Amino acid sequence: MSESIHIHPGSTAHDAVHDDHHHGHHEQSFISKYIFSQDHKTIGKQFLITGIIWAIIGGLFSVLFRLQLGYPDQSFPILETFFGHWAEGGTIKPEFYYALVTMHGTVLVFFVLTAGLSGTFANLLIPLQVGARDMASPFMNMLSYWFFFMASIVMIASLFIHTGPASGGWTVYPPLSALGQASEGSKLGMDLWIVAMALFVVSSLLGGLNYIATILNMRTKGMSMTRLPLTIWALFFTAVLGVLSFPVLFSGLLLLLFDRNLGTSFYLSDIVVGTDILPNEGGSAILFQHLFWFLGHPEVYIILLPAMGMVSEILSVNARKPIFGYMAMLGSLFAIAILAFLVWAHHMFVTGLNPFLGSVFVLLTLLIAVPSAIKVFNWLTTLWRGNIRLFPSTLFAIGFVSLFISGGLTGIFLGNSTIDIHLHDTMFVVAHFHIVMGVASMFGMFAGVYHWFPKMFGRYLNSTLGYIHFWVTMIGSYLIFWPMHYEGLAGMPRRYLDKSIWKSFNQFGDLDKMITVVSIIVFAVQLMFVFNFFYSIFKGRKVTTTNPWGANTLEWTTPINPGHGNWTGEIPEVHRWAYDYGKDGREFIPQTEPVGANESKH
């Protein structure tokens, strides 16, 4: 196999000499190696670190508004320190509470769990696990990160303007979001939100195109589609979902931008603001919801699928057993990807949707339980009677399965249009999507970071801190979100800053205090993880073997600190699937090993 690739001569020597730290002068300048890098591994790290910064910002927002929710009648000087005139006297103003909730949602959904999760691991793992030197178009890949960076800058900027950031919820429903006179957050902050999201869409399209093309066209010899690790399959479906649904969000936001700035009536009709009668006629606010949720629903799978893929891989490696039901896993990923496009209207059951249409969407929504249950079954059977190594990565992967089960079950409640009449817009919804989508995907991401950190930086994360991180986060997540189910069933609305005028909700006062206290603790533990992350990049225990976890996939056949081009010699050839663990008396058989004459079939 002859490769017409030019590996920088310095890059291999670099690995041997500079194991500990990546400074120094080589062929590549600092800028082309670390900043405007076209190396997929560096771009992955850029996504990860930017995502971590965003996660701290978005998480901090939630802790700060949780303070107010848990202790509605107290004032916290720290809030005024942070937010100035938005929290005068140490209590958050209602308008600013909406801004915080909006930013918390936007940041976590898009900037952390979309860009930070699939941006990181698609970039890092796709070329390494399919056996390619880099992405199909490294340049586009670099652009993808820098568009994300620009989106981040614009979104950050919106936090510092006088009228504050967008505050209509992360779903930015018009007419609230379309009319500047409707609220402070619908002024400049909303325009910046739209611009940032447009840049974000461009970033994820550039990334997604590359991921798909790389997986389908750049696999090494012998790497047939059914020999791909499940991580790659999951990232593939994620990219397909993104490429087909983000453009529709773009369309919706474009029309919103026209309505806001040019006076068109795509979403606006018969509106009176104060004494002002607006000339808009014939617009439909529901239209925006259709366009938004056509992206919005696939988006939750864009967030969840990469976590599912990584969990499958990590569970199999650390249970020292082949993944149970590889083809069923693949088929259920495919089914989820298809169904993701057919269920968006279940976010709109109470918008006056035709009940017959609603019943179709109920059926399609509940169908998702089938592939989800298949996946859960297969994860559990993969663990069953395995020689489980309880690394932090394994624990987070098991935690993911736990959260996916408990969060998924409440999805069956919400997916029924009749029960949804009672439950919609209550804390029950908040509990559901935080557990199944937010925290579960975070757990998948943590599992991935603990598992692939040695590949990223040539060092290990500290395990003791990892175990503390896991247990506090696991217990804390349930303590925070489980009680919200009870609040929601009792009818407590979401999005309300102060519920004290309802006597019936006063019974939850102590519960809300408990949730706030636990969320502060959990946030502190995340900061400890961030410390572990950055400390271990420079001072962590060094990796001394190319394959520290005894895994089969191709990324562990590269040098400990691979240069741009990944493999120093030829790209290895693949002879088997990725899950030959505990076979014929051997603990693991890498994908690169030819199938022996007497080998049993899996």
Partner 1 sequence: MEIVSDQQRKRIHPHKFTLWVAIASILMMFAGLTSAFIVKSNLTGWKDIDMPKVFWYSTAVILVSSVTVQAALRSFRQREMRQYRSLIGVTLVLGILFVILQWFGFKSLWDQNVKFTGSAGAGQFLYVIFGLHAIHVIGGIITLLVMFLKAFFGKVKLYSSVPVEVLATYWHFVDILWIYLLLFFIVIG
Question: Side chain identity at 118, as an amino acid letter?
Answer: S
Nearer to partner 1, 61 or 250 (CB): 250
Q: SS3 letters for 172-214?
A: CCCCHHHCHHHCHHHCHHHHHHHHHHHHHHHHHHHHHHHHHHH
Nearer to partner 1, 245 or 318 (CB): 245
> Given candidates 115, 130, 179, 205, which one binds partner 1 under the rule CB under 8 A?
205
Do the beta carbons of residue 129 and residue 231 sit within 8 Å? yes
398 sits in the region (left: phi over 0; alpha: psi -120 to 50; else beta) called alpha
Least distance (Å) from partner 1 to the CB of residue 7?
9
264 sits in the region (left: phi over 0; alpha: psi -120 to 50; else beta) called beta
Does residue 255 interact with partner 1 by CB under 8 A? Answer: yes
491 sits in the region (left: phi over 0; alpha: psi -120 to 50; else beta) called left
Does residue 21 interact with partner 1 by CB under 8 A? Answer: no
Site string (374-413) toward partner 1, x via CB under 8 A? ----------------------------------------
Site string (133-152) toward partner 1, x via CB under 8 A? xx-xxx-x------------
Does residue 175 interact with partner 1 by CB under 8 A? Answer: no
Does residue 214 interact with partner 1 by CB under 8 A? Answer: yes
What distance in Å separates the CA atoms of residue 380 and residue 352, rounded to the nearest whole number?
A: 41
The helix-helix angle for 120-130 and 40-70 (nearest 10°) equals 150
Site string (259-278) toward partner 1, x via CB under 8 A? ---xxxxx--x---------
Q: How far is CA 589 from the centre of its chain?
A: 31
> Given candidates 56, 243, 468, 520, which one binds partner 1 under the rule CB under 8 A?
243
Least distance (Å) from partner 1 to the CB of residue 23?
22
Question: Side chain identity at 22, as an amino acid letter?
Answer: H
Q: Tell me which residue of 417, 554, 394, 424 sits closest to 495, measured CA to CA.
A: 424
Least distance (Å) from partner 1 to the CB of residue 242?
9
What distance in Å separates the CA atoms of residue 177 and residue 256, rounded to the nearest whole number?
A: 8
Q: How far is CA 116 from the centre of its chain?
A: 6
Do the beta carbons of residue 418 and residue 450 sit within 8 Å? no
> Given candidates 6, 23, 162, 601, which one binds partner 1 under the rule CB under 8 A?
6
> Given candidates 11, 106, 210, 552, which one binds partner 1 under the rule CB under 8 A?
210
Stretch that binds partner 1, among 99-107, 252-260, 378-386, 505-513 (CB under 8 A): 252-260
Least distance (Å) from partner 1 to the CB of residue 387?
37
Do the beta carbons of residue 205 and residue 246 sit within 8 Å? yes
Rg of the chain over CA atoms, in angstroms? 24
Does residue 280 interact with partner 1 by CB under 8 A? Answer: yes
Least distance (Å) from partner 1 to the CB of residue 599?
25
Does residue 338 interact with partner 1 by CB under 8 A? Answer: no
Does residue 43 interact with partner 1 by CB under 8 A? Answer: no
> Given candidates 105, 407, 454, 565, which one binds partner 1 under the rule CB under 8 A?
565
Q: Which residues bind partner 1 (CB under 8 A)?
A: 1-6, 38, 132-134, 136-138, 140, 205, 208-210, 212-214, 216-218, 221, 243-248, 250-252, 254-255, 258, 262-266, 269, 279-284, 287, 290-291, 294, 564-565, 571
